[in-house]
Structure 1
Amino acid sequence: MDDGWTSLTELNSYRVEAYAACCLFPATVEELREAMRPAAGQAVHMLGHGCNVILASKYYDARHRFVCTRRLEPGIVVDGREVRAGAGARLRDVCRAAARAGLTGLECLWDIPGSVGGAAFMNAGAYGTSFYDGVVSVEAYEPGADRLRTLSRQDCRPAYRTTAFQGTDAVIVSVRLRLAPGDRAAILAEMGRIGKLRRSKLPYDLPSAGSVFRRPEGAPPVGVIMEEAGLKGFRIGGAQISPRHGGIIVNAGGATGEDILAVITKMHEVMLCYYNTVPKLEQIII
């Protein structure tokens, strides 16, 4: 690419080839504050570890400002039963740090890709456990008010894959969790079991952004619907409904954002036809 353009290809988990004229990597709250002051008419797009986004275009000119928070406050501190983790820390690393300290509660979240900020934004979860089960408070920067605010777990209003942060311009900076003490060996063994279980079911061999939709109400899981429709393995361009899990789209080779969106449209059609439902998209289209 020409000088001045940032490649977003390694910054999104689909590994879609894309470039941005403006992409910032704040590491501190002060740098975040500056990053969240776009030029007039410039749209701001937040990227954590890029694990829940679909880049619909190949080129994003100066009308777009990407703010990548993977370097934002990446530290993890364990103090007794409490764990403080910055938004840029990997969720995997927080799970590992808690386990090594003999703290239980995060085992079912082991091996979920993405950042602490992303997990706190969407209330990530698996196997009956949600991220907010252990959250005490969340620190967030609110650009509109230009303030750093600490919110209690109750203030965050966590529910299934939702929080109070969605639909706002707030940027999560750090999270404080309080976990229960447990047997370190048992915790590590359970994490190993969860890791094997996830890898036996999910397509870790190809780039993806995980589940495309939230669980539909009054209908089977999306993966089951796609299997009923015979669409596991369905492909448009480089985007494919995973042969291993019908609720996940993978980049089977050279997928573009347009390819992914076309497959999502097909999934919409099938869910409407079979169950008269279209669950909410879990991924963010940019």
Structure 2
Amino acid sequence: MTNVFAPAWLTDHNSYRVVARAEALALPKTADELIAVLQESVGERTVLLGHGCNVILSRNHYDASVRFVSTKGLDTAVVLADGLVKAAAGTRLRGVCRAAAQAGLSGLERLWDIPGSVGGAAFMNAGAYGASFYDVVASVEVFFPGTGEVTTLTREQCRPAYRLTAFQGTDAVILGVTLRLSPADPAAILREMGRIGKLRRSKLPYNLPSAGSVFRRPEGAPPVGQIMEEAGLKGFTIGGAQISPRHAGIIVNAGGATGADILAVVEEMRQAARERYGVELVLEQVVL
């Protein structure tokens, strides 16, 4: 790869569709290219964007001291055999769900229609409707840029918890996952995926750009969306960032939102939770 990092707009690389410019963005096409990019960047501030579905870009410009790596163009191999699904990190989670269903493999139905990549799901332990990604993870292939080591970790070594894994706060980069699924009737799997898809679209604001749930589920308090409704914040807007009128636990880009707009709304939501329930909301999204 030559001229690996180049100036680029990040608008299509974050699901909020915040307009931001980076002076250094790399778009590797294979796992080997990804490893080479990350090895070249050891010692530099490097941000692995994945598909950009759980991030808040806090600035409108990032100079070359911040290196972004997007996996949107990464190879998306999916291999199915003997109840196992092997998927590269850049593969869309939706694509893996669909491939598993067509092969008559059950276990991913409740994760259907969650946006983003397999790597992102493994990093954050994505989940919905009582199911989590690590419910079906057998192992995760990981690269450590600092040492150059590529290794395979068991599910237990990944230490999954609610929206948490051992990878957060480290330089570990997920290259791929192996999932262990159960045989089932493909038609029944597809029916359940259809039900989940309709449920999600009846409740969530698919009509505007967002990054999904803003906060982790609070302990000792109602769901975030309920707290915001009680506080009268449904539809609350700062700049182009709005607490969704459809689901008050989600911030949407209602038009021209900046990262600063989104973070200002985040603080209003935190304050509402403090005042009403004395809880400190924990941000699920990553601020860059």
After TM superposition, the score normalised by the length of structure 1 is 0.96
Distance 1:269 1:48 in 2: 30
Counterpart residue number, 1:24: 26
Cα deviation for residue 144 of structure 1 reads 1.3
Counterpart residue number, 1:254: 256
Equivalent residues in 2 for 1:143-222 (5 A)?
143-222=145-224
Equivalent residues in 2 for 1:102-181 (5 A)?
102-181=104-183
Cα deviation for residue 40 of structure 1 reads 8.1
1:38-72 deviations in Å (ceiling 9; x for gaps)? 56873111101100000011111111100112233
Counterpart residue number, 1:79: 81
Distance 2:85 2:73 in 1: 19
Counterpart residue number, 1:92: 94
Note if contact 1:73-1:173 (Cα within 8 Å) is conserved in structure 2.
no
Unmatched runs of 5 consecutive residues or more in structure 2: 1-5
Distance 1:278 1:99 in 2: 39
Note if contact 2:49-2:71 (Cα within 8 Å) is conserved in structure 1.
yes
Distance 2:240 2:281 in 1: 24
Equivalent residues in 2 for 1:8-47 (5 A)?
8-37=10-39, 42-47=44-49
Distance 1:265 1:61 in 2: 26
Note if contact 1:104-1:179 (Cα within 8 Å) is conserved in structure 2.
yes
How many residue pairs align between the two structures?
Answer: 283
Name the SS for the 2:122 alignment partner: helix
Percent of aligned positions that are identical = 65
Q: Given the alignment, which residue of 50, 53, 56 partners 1:54?
A: 56
Q: Given the alignment, which residue of 7, 11, 15 partners 2:9?
A: 7
Letter in 1 for 2:125: N
Name the SS for the 1:258 alignment partner: helix
Distance 1:40 1:11 in 2: 22
Distance 2:36 2:26 in 1: 10
Name the SS for the 2:226 alignment partner: helix
Cα deviation for residue 83 of structure 1 reads 0.4
Note if contact 1:70-1:87 (Cα within 8 Å) is conserved in structure 2.
no
Note if contact 2:39-2:148 (Cα within 8 Å) is conserved in structure 1.
no
Moved over 4 A (4+): 38-41
Distance 2:34 2:41 in 1: 15
Structure-2 change in CA distance of 1:270 and 1:94 (3 Å): same
Counterpart residue number, 2:226: 224
Name the SS for the 1:165 alignment partner: coil
